[in-house]
Structure 1
Amino acid sequence: MTIKTLTLAVLGASLLAPVALFASELHPVVDFQAGYLLGSSTVPNKWMRPEALVKSKQLPGKRKYRVYSMKGYLGEVSGNKAISQGAPCEDTRYVDFAPSRENAKYKSGVIAIGGSWNALPRPLRQEGTYLVTYRNIVADFLKTKGIPKTTIRIAQVFRVDLDGDGTDEVLINATNHNGSNGLNGNISPDSRAGEYSMTLLRKIVNGKVQTILVEGDFYPTAKKFNAPNVYKIAGAFDVNGDGKMEIVTKGRYYEGDWTTVYAVNGNKSSSVLKVQDVLGDGCGA
């Protein structure tokens, strides 16, 4: 190898090194309100759950996070090292922030991301929950789960272009639990016949509109002390910097709660669409 060739090789390696470093850098994702460390993302499309971070000794230390609400970027905060707070959820890691979630500026904060990109590249637009179109979608889906007749309660509807292809997807949360839509109030340890809670995604797949279940629980018959789950949509954010937005949901039952990040893989020309649970954590007795 000539000196010129060697010099070019070294120069090429030095130019590529920052790209490789950025690609493998971990970007922690935290539920800003609860403080749950949901895991970390890398650029692009790799995920590490909290348990993997613990096992590999890569838990995030003190660092900066960008905080987002459903409507946009709120500001930058400092996060402490992710730690366990002991029983009853020894395996859950928490991050405390300054300014804290009690600060007026950050009260609407949903998620904190350890990355420099814009995590809300496209807006979420809230839709009416009483539109007949959405009620029919929910009713038809419930029939596939053995609930042909029940009260239709739609709690949330959002339109958002998740993958940046210029076509909006629709996110629908429908919940019928204990006589309410589940957004507020206590959760019963029992379920009544015809109760349910679910998040649906309406998306064009292979040229046709499809209804895809993101998450959900369905109770055609009454059950005692089965600890039913209630879900809601927390937002949609680009948590790993690839330009596509992941769906963020919150779930709870009568003794605990959790947050989940779902990645949607596939676009309107795809023959197969996959919704994958990629990050999440919570705490319950």
Structure 2
Amino acid sequence: MRLHSWLVLTVLGLAPFAAQAATQPPAPVLVTSAGNEDSMLLGVWDGKRWISPPAAAPLVWGNTVYRVQGLSGSSVNAVGGSPVSFDAPCPDAFSVTLTPNRVPNATQLATRADLNARPRPVTALPIQHSLYAGAVQAELVRRGLKNPVVQIRSVTRADLDGNGSDEIIIEATHFAENTAGDPLPPVNAQAGDYSVLLLRFVVNGQVKTAVLGADVVLKSGTIDAPRNGLRERLEGIADLNGDGRMELVTSESYYEGDTLDALTWTPAQGPKRVLETGCGA
């Protein structure tokens, strides 16, 4: 039985016993990138495990009702169609059309509408703070950059695991040939270029850092052997499967392509990739 029909019958008190006793339908995860119309299927939680495309595509029902939300702001509902393969050059990637159709100016996640995808606040913080700059600098120096140019792009606060202690996600990127606005990954990266995504958390009163994604360029590429730069970015935070813990959706983009990941995180286990998709030349 389709989710929207099940919800209507339940509200009316007409849902049959079998439907009430049945397990929840799969929970798809869709990502709509800024400036795009259609969403990309990141994967599905089937009640027991995470499933990435293309195995997830047959589990996504048409006419599923989704809650659509960015990192900040209110959510809206939309109805999704069935997944459609991108075909060449990315046959294992799938798009899903949402109705009403919106073109967002920032990345949005779509999760099953009956899930509480935002059980706790997600807050954008000011980026001008010496603690954040110090954390980025320390990580870059640890990776071999002697005098890095620290450029923080975003700082986000959220209690991911619901333990009452907030985590901080820091996104920092510097490309020498592209410093203004929203920097694009260079075709040929230069020494000193980097993009890192860090998660700061507290355990027993001590602040620790986990690396969610990192690309640090120690040696410039050449015309004959270019070295693509990578851009690490936080795309969304949401409880994707209804277990009360919020996952992180991140991207790694490069010239003419990108990948999307969903990461679980706990202080004990650290970040763990559970879903992945992407498309590129």
Tell me the distance in 1 between the aligned counterparts of 2:102 and 2:242: 24
Q: 1:83 to 1:195 in 2, by over 3 A?
A: same
Equivalent in the alignment of 1:254: 255
Q: What residue in structure 1 maps to residue 271 of structure 2?
A: 275
Aligned-partner residue type, residue 37 of structure 1: L
SS of the residue corresponding to residue 36 of structure 1 reads strand
Q: Note if 1:37 corresponds to 2:41.
A: yes
When normalised by structure 2's length, the TM-score is 0.83
How far did residue 273 of structure 1 move? 3.0
* Closer/same/farther in 2, CA of residues 174 and 185 from structure 1, 3 Å limit: closer
Matches within 5 A, 1:136-215: 136-180=134-178, 184-205=182-203, 207-215=205-213
For the pair 1:49 / 2:45, whether they are aligned, the reply is no
Q: 1:155 corresponds to which letter in structure 2?
A: R
Q: Percent identity?
A: 31
1:115 CA drift (Å):
4.4
Query: 1:72 Cα shift?
Result: 4.3
May I ask how many residue pairs the two structures share in their alignment?
259
Q: Distance in 1 between matches of 2:17 and 2:97?
A: 37
Structure-2 separation of matches of 1:107 and 1:282: 20
- CA distance in 2 between partners of 1:212 and 1:181 (Å): 26
* Alignment-derived partner of residue 129 in structure 1: 127
Call closer, same or farther: CA 1:65–1:109 in 2, change over 3 Å.
farther
Q: 1:205, CA displacement in angstroms? A: 3.2
Deviations 1:45-84 (A, max 9, x none): x211113325xx4344342211112224422111111011
Stretches of structure 2 that go unaligned for 5 or more consecutive residues are 1-15
For the pair shown, the structure with the greater C-alpha radius of gyration is 1
Distance in 1, Cα, partners of 2:221 & 2:107:
36
RMSD of aligned residue pairs (Cα, Å): 2.4
Matched letter for residue 28 of structure 1: P
Contact 1:174 / 1:181 at 8 angstroms: preserved in 2?
no
Deviation at 1:150, TM superposition (A): 1.7
Task: State the Cα deviation string for residues 177-224 of structure 1 (Å, max 9, x = none).
Answer: 134568624432111111111100001235522111011111111124
Distance 1:110 1:65 in 2: 12
Distance 1:227 1:32, change over 3 A: same
Q: Which residue does the alignment assign to 1:223?
A: 221
One-letter identity of the residue aligned with 1:242: D
Higher helix share: 1
Secondary structure in 2 matching 1:38:
strand
